[in-house]
Copies of this chain bind each other. A is one copy, B any other.
Amino acid sequence: MPVTLVQVDFPHSGPWGAEMAAAFEGLAQSIAAEPGFLFKYWTEDQAQGIAGGIYGFASRTEAEAYLTMHTARLQGFGVSGIRGLILDVNDTLSRIDKAPVL
């Protein structure tokens, strides 16, 4: 299955870990229902003050639509410095390296 990745990160000052999970459980559930959504790793690094996500989508069109919507949503939360990329997956190399859901 072709997968398009969405890579997002931004400056974040908390919550982290279990508190982040409690704050964003509802958002995580809504993300799972987005068109073309396959998976999201929720990422965080308290030492660097960064949070974000690595998402898989079934198509580039759906990935782009999500990133546009999500960037606006983050800005609405007061987040700035958002870095968002739409990335194709090189299937041949990623299969050699055991990438999931390919």
Q: A residues engaging B (CB < 8 A)?
A: 3, 5, 7, 9, 17-18, 20-21, 24-25, 28-29, 31-32, 37-46, 48, 50, 52, 54, 85-90, 92-94, 96-101
Indicate the member of A44, A88, A97, A101 with the most B CB atoms within 10 Å.
A97
Q: What chain B residues lie within 8 Å of A88 (beta carbons)?
A: 43-46
CA–CA, A24 and B94, complex, Å: 11
Question: What residues of B have a CB within 8 angstroms of the CB of A9 in the complex?
Answer: 7, 85, 87
Query: Do A87 and B40 touch across chains, with their CB atoms under 8 A apart?
Result: no
Distance between Cα atoms of A92 and B20 in the complex (Å)? 9
A52 touches B97 (CB 8 A): no
Q: Which residue of B29, B54, B85, B99 is within 8 Å of A45 (Cβ)?
A: B85
A88 to B92, CA, bound (A): 27
CB of A50 within 8 A of CB of B87, answer yes
